[in-house]
Each structure stands twice: as structure tokens, then as C-alpha cells.
Amino acid sequence: MCCSSINSFELFPFRVLSTENNERFMGSTLLLTTKDNKYIYKMLKNDNNNELDFYSSIGKQHLLKRHDIIPKFIRFVLIIEIGKNSKKIYLRKSFFNSILNKKIRNLHYFKIESAIEMKNFLSGYSNINIIDLKLGTSWIGESKNDSIYNLREVFSKTFPDEDLAQEFNDIFCKIECIQEKTEFINGMLYKLKSLRKSIKQYMIINNSCQYEIGIRIQGLISDEITISRQRGKELTSNETMKLLSEFLKLSPNLIRLTRKKVELLKFWLERQKSYRFIATSIVLAFDRLNVEKCDIRWLDFTHAFKQNKKNEENFLMNEGLIKGLDSILKSIENIEIKTSR
């Protein structure tokens, strides 16, 4: 049944579990799905509309849409969280408005959140082999045009890299513990949360293979091996490339599809001057029971920053994405060289 034909339905956390001990290897607290797993709902944290704006800018004839390089965006929706049991419920807008027009008892039990609705491109897979690659080498606050750039510069010049995270956390905790927060303090906390994300991204990128090859394994589930997010941070460049090659070799059709989509994405990124992307991901998957059934998508545009002519120099910062795409293509080339011998 199409989602738009019913007034409401319950949503559930979206997770991809390992086959070993039912441990979650992929997914996010921001991702919800329907019972039939056909749709994905991504919560827009802190009213961050970057992802919504990016998807809305992609027209029907856009290269990314025509070739299914990104997930299929459906619409902006509202999600209700019922406070007593944290149940998430999607409501159609007309039905939602009719409820708001009525006198509701215990309204404080409800929390309204915004989200984007997308088609789940993994729906219908019986047993998933999947690898999630974090892409790029940039972080929030790297550009002079980022809102927290100056604040980050102050912290970076005040504290050495090895002490930066700890010193920041100490300051953040002291401000967060203030009982009566003014508008100024709340505004500062918001900036500090962005700075915390910036420091975390910087530390991970510069202390993992992501800096060298532009990709890092966020999670991997296959018949042969499972890699957690933490383990992915510890892998060397050679180990990461080897695991990616071994994963791709399991599905010849995925190799062909990956080459096609990655080359098209690279072509578009090298020419576009509208967005700077930070911390996006590429997900590759195939069905264990039918290895020809596969897909690859570029996703996670929480930090897709719209650019203007005044800061076109920032497009150099998409070079980290190109580096990651080149690493994926190199992995495919290595497979083809070995199979041709």
C-alpha cells in the first residue's frame, strides 16, 4: 500500500544487523523505516535543512536522479514522537492538521520532528552483503566561509592538537551546566556543538586511512567478515582497499554498476559549482541469495553546503571526494588486472 493512502503508521529504527550476534553494524538513530521496510525516514537534526534543500534542488532530468546515483527523495514529512514510550509515528499532513485543530489532552507527551521520506533502495533484499564507505577528506569549519571557522581557529591556536578535544569538552561541559541559560548562552552552545562535530571529524580523518585514500569503512557485512565502525577507523589504507576489492569480487554485476555510477558521480562533481560536500557516504550492496541483485548509492547530505560566486575557491574542498571515488575505481581496476592474468 502506498504511504500516502493512509493517515498514519508506526516507524521503527532502521538497522542492518550482522549475522553473528545480531549486533547493529549499520544504521543511525536518525533513520527510521516502515514495517514493510519500503521507505526510509531521516530525521532533520536541529532543524538542519541542508539535506532537504539538496534533494529539492535535484530535478527529474538531473544526472544524479536519472542514473539512480542518490536515493529517491519523496517529500518532507512531520514525525510525531509519543513521549511515554518514544514511539515514532508518521502522520499525513491533512490528518496532522486535523489533530492540531482538536483539543488534545496531555499534549506535552508529543514531540513534533521534521524528516525527509525516501524510498529504501535496499527493500526486497533477502540477505544483504553491504559495505558503507565514508567519503572525502574535509570537515566542518575548514573553510573560511563556515560559520564556526573563526571559533575553531581560536581553539586550534590556543590548544595543541593532542589536547584540543579534552580542553574543548571541559569548556563545553561547564557552559552546558549553567542552570539559567540566556539566549546568548544557547546560541554559544549551538556553535560549540558544531565545533565539537568539527573536531571529531578532523580527528577521525587525520588519524585514519581516510586522509590518504579518501574513503574509510563505516561498516561491512558479508559472508566472510564483518567490520564495525570502530574497526574501520583502525584499518590501514592497504587493508581498506583489500577489503573493498574482496567485497566487490563477490558480485560481478556490482563491479559493473559501481564503475558506471562512480564515473558519472565523479564527472558531475568535477563540473558542478553549487555545493561543497562534507561527510557523505557511498553504500554498496548485493543480495547473498542473488548476487546479480545489487545497488550503489551516494547519500547523507547533512553537510551539503550551498555555495555562491564569492566563495568558489571552496570547490577545491570537493577534491577529497574525488580522491575517494578514484580509490574505488582503483579497486575495480585491480580486480580486473588480476582476473585478466
> Which pLDDT score is estimated for 102?
52
Beta-bridged to residue 220, according to DSSP, are 131, 227
Q: Which three cell numbers stand for residue 296?
A: 550503489
Q: How does DSSP assign 174-218, residue by residue? A: HHHT-SS--HHHHHHHHHHHHHHHHHHHHHHHHTSTHHHHSEEEE
> Which pLDDT score is estimated for 67?
98
> Which pLDDT score is estimated for 116?
94
The ranges of the chain with pLDDT < 50 are: 1-5, 103-105, 107
Report yes or no: 106 and 259 within 8 Å, Cβ to Cβ: no
> Which pLDDT score is estimated for 46?
74
* Residue-wise pLDDT tens digits, 199-237: 899 999 999 999 999 999 999 999 888 999 999 999 999
**What pTM, to 2 d.p., does this model score?**
0.86
> Which pLDDT score is estimated for 329?
98
All structural domains of the chain: 3-119 (no CATH), 128-142+207-340 (3.30.470.160), 149-206 (no CATH)
Q: What is the C-alpha separation between 316 and 276, in angstroms, rounded?
A: 9
Q: Which three cell numbers stand for residue 174?
A: 561547564
Which amino acid is residue 48, in one-letter code? N
> Which pLDDT score is estimated for 87?
61
> Which pLDDT score is estimated for 7?
59
> Which pLDDT score is estimated for 4?
44
> Which pLDDT score is estimated for 160?
77
* Residue-wise pLDDT tens digits, 14-42: 877 665 555 555 656 789 998 899 999 99
Instruction: Give the H/E segment covering residue 50.
Output: helix 50-57
Residue tagged 527523495 (cell numbers): 73
Residue 37 region by backbone torsions, left for phi larger than 0, else alpha for psi between -120 and 50, else beta = left
Q: Which three cell numbers stand for residue 277?
A: 560536500
> Which pLDDT score is estimated for 25?
54
> Which pLDDT score is estimated for 3?
47
Residue tagged 519523496 (cell numbers): 74
Report yes or no: 217 and 131 within 8 Å, Cβ to Cβ: yes
